[in-house]
């Protein structure tokens, strides 16, 4: 994983379409990387969630709502200033690792111009929301988060993630330290935004040093029109897709802020944070699987649908028990995490969206990997129309509860539409075959949780552990993993070099 950059080995002999009978070295590297990153991100997300809880209780619902509104606008402007270059950089870098330094310098130079364009956009949004005092830290986050993602993606493209794994936990630990210091001195929203900006700055320094030491990063101003013109044509559909998906993913907060007080925004976003913390799982899996799907598309195209169905199966297997558990234990988790009392119903409703949010990453990763980003943009448009439409109908009347239901409806719609589109473009993912065993195991687990109905932190912990064991035992009894999947898991868990 930490060897010098090189072009990854093909997934199948000579890319001739012969089915691989056992896991390839590339597939094993991807799976092992996934497991290691997931462990690091679990720890990181726990730390990050603790930091958010401290912030929320220190700021109070109104000021926390204001801060989260500013963060939402940063995310919205961020997709405009990215234009899809980040995803294209990973895809093209995975296909030609020897050109990563050239690709990086071109994209990094372009980001300077795009960031300047993003400044007035961000100012306008914050001004209209009455949050213009948060402009400077918000702009710092916009710029620094974009560059740290670009640097981080260099390692994803090369499938060499050891240094990325090492960085994950310290980055969030720094945020937690700054948050604790801020809470003790009664800091305002601006301070906490600067804390996040500082963590992104340190990440940029770290990844820059790592990539420079490995001989990958040789930063200089470089704008090659012969490279960027075709990239722009490929990036625009990706950029449009990311703009659309980010808007539908984040539009609930601006709409809620428009019709309801900031306190209600605080209740909703506080409930959303535990939900959002879980989404690192599919996003991490997608980040690792996406380059692999891209390579399979070029070198073993007959394996793409096979890998896509395995990806879908894994996402449902991970997302379904979380949906069941959080839905049945929403009250207990709300108390455990010290969320606002009014956040509990939103947390319970949002739990229903988790399995859909996991599963729809299959279609995003696969369609983009097979160069169907324009097609996926149409899927994203459907999500945008559904989400904006539902939010505009339900938020004025039902407020943050309506916004929570809008998330569920949108994610379910995206899974349905994504499945039909992938069927037309590549082939059919057998949903029943891929998910019925996980659903049965999750329902059995849910019956156990419902009957026990734990109260108190110790009881809750014991029930969560017992539920996970029950879910795993039922999956094993139903032989949810086939022979090849079991071989992948066993080999990935072995402690040996790649």
> What percent of the chain has pLDDT above 70?
89
- Mean pLDDT value across residues 219-245: 75
Per the CB < 8 A criterion, the answer to whether 180 and 54 are in contact is yes
pLDDT digits (tens, 9 = 90+) for 260-319: 988 899 899 888 888 888 887 888 778 778 877 887 788 878 888 888 888 899 899 999
pLDDT for the residue 204:
92
Binned at pLDDT 50, 70 and 90, residue 490 comes out as: low
Per the CB < 8 A criterion, the answer to whether 51 and 172 are in contact is yes
Indicate if the pLDDT at residue 494 is higher than 70: no
Indicate if the pLDDT at residue 398 is higher than 90: yes
Residue 138 CA to its chain's centroid (Å): 21
pLDDT for the residue 302:
80
pLDDT digits (tens, 9 = 90+) for 112-169: 888 999 999 999 999 988 999 999 999 999 999 999 988 888 887 776 767 777 888 8
Indicate if the pLDDT at residue 239 is higher than 60: yes
* Number of C-beta neighbours around residue 9 at 10 A: 11
pLDDT for the residue 456:
85
Q: What are the domain boundaries of the chain?
A: 5-9+23-250, 257-498
Binned at pLDDT 50, 70 and 90, residue 92 comes out as: confident
Distance CA 397, CA 303 (A): 48
Residues in the chain: 498
Average per-residue pLDDT for the chain: 83
pLDDT for the residue 98:
75
- Mean pLDDT value across residues 171-189: 92
Greatest mean pLDDT among 40-44, 285-289, 454-458: 454-458
pLDDT for the residue 198:
94
Binned at pLDDT 50, 70 and 90, residue 28 comes out as: low
- Mean pLDDT value across residues 86-108: 77
pLDDT digits (tens, 9 = 90+) for 319-349: 999 999 999 999 998 888 888 889 999 999 9
pLDDT for the residue 268:
92
Greatest mean pLDDT among 44-58, 213-227, 356-370, 437-451: 437-451
pLDDT for the residue 369:
83
Helices (H), 301-372: 304-328, 330-336, 344-351, 354-359, 361-369
pLDDT for the residue 339:
84
Q: For Cα atoms 442, 283, 448, give the angle at the middle one, nearest 5 degrees.
A: 15
pLDDT for the residue 162:
75
pLDDT for the residue 3:
37
pLDDT digits (tens, 9 = 90+) for 11-26: 332 333 333 333 345 5
Which run of H or E residues covers position 101?
helix 100-128
Helices (H), 189-279: 189-213, 225-250, 252-259, 262-278
Residue 118 has which token pair? Answer: 């993003």
């Amino acid at each position: 994983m930490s060897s010098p950059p090189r072009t990854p080995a093909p997934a199948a002999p000579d890319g001739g379409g012969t089915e691989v009978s056992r896991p390839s070295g590339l597939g094993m590297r991807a799976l092992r990387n996934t497991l290691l990153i997931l462990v690091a991100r679990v720890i990181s997300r726990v730390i990050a969630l603790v930091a958010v809880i401290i912030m929320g209780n220190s700021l109070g619902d109104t000021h926390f709502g204001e801060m989260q509104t500013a963060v939402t606008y940063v995310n919205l402007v961020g997709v405009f200033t990215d234009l899809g270059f980040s995803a294209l950089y990973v895809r093209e870098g995975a296909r030609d690792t020897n050109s990563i330094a050239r690709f990086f310098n071109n994209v990094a130079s372009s980001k300077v111009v795009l960031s300047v364009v993003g400044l007035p956009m961000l100012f306008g949004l914050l001004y209209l929301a009455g949050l213009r005092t948060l402009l400077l830290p918000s702009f710092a986050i916009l710029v620094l988060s974009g560059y740290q993602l670009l640097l981080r993606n260099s390692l994803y493209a090369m499938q060499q993630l050891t240094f990325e794994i090492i960085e994950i936990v310290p980055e969030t630990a720094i945020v937690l330290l700054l948050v604790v210091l801020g809470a003790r001195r009664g800091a305002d929203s601006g301070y906490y935004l600067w804390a996040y900006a500082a963590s992104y700055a340190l990440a940029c320094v770290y990844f820059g040093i790592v990539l420079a030491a490995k001989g990958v990063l040789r930063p200089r101003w470089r704008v090659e029109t012969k490279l960027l013109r075709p990239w722009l044509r490929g990036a625009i559909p990706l950029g449009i897709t990311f703009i659309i998906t980010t808007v539908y993913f984040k539009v609930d907060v601006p709409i809620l802020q428009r019709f309801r007080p900031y306190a209600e925004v605080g209740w909703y976003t506080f409930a959303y944070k535990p939900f959002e913390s879980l989404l690192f799982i599919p996003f991490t899996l997608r980040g690792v699987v996406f380059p692999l799907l891209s390579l399979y598309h070029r070198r073993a195209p007959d394996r793409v649908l096979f890998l896509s169905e395995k990806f879908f199966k894994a996402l449902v297997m991970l997302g379904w028990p979380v949906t069941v558990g959080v839905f049945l234990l929403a009250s207990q988790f709300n108390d455990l995490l010290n969320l606002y009392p009014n956040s509990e119903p939103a947390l319970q409703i949002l739990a229903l969206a988790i399995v859909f949010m996991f599963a729809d990453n299959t279609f995003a990763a696969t369609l983009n990997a097979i160069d169907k980003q324009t097609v996926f943009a149409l899927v994203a448009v459907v999500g945008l129309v559904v989400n904006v439409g539902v939010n505009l109908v339900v938020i004025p009347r039902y407020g943050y509860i309506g916004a929570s239901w809008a998330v569920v409806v949108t994610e379910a719609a995206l899974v349905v539409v994504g499945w039909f589109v992938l069927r037309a473009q590549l082939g059919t993912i057998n949903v029943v075959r891929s998910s019925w065993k996980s659903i049965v195991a999750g329902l059995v687990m849910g019956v156990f949780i419902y009957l026990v109905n734990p109260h108190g932190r110790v009881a809750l912990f014991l029930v969560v552990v017992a539920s996970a064991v029950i879910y795993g035992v039922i999956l094993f009894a139903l032989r949810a993993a086939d022979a090849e999947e079991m071989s992948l898991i066993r080999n990935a868990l072995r402690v040996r070099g790649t």
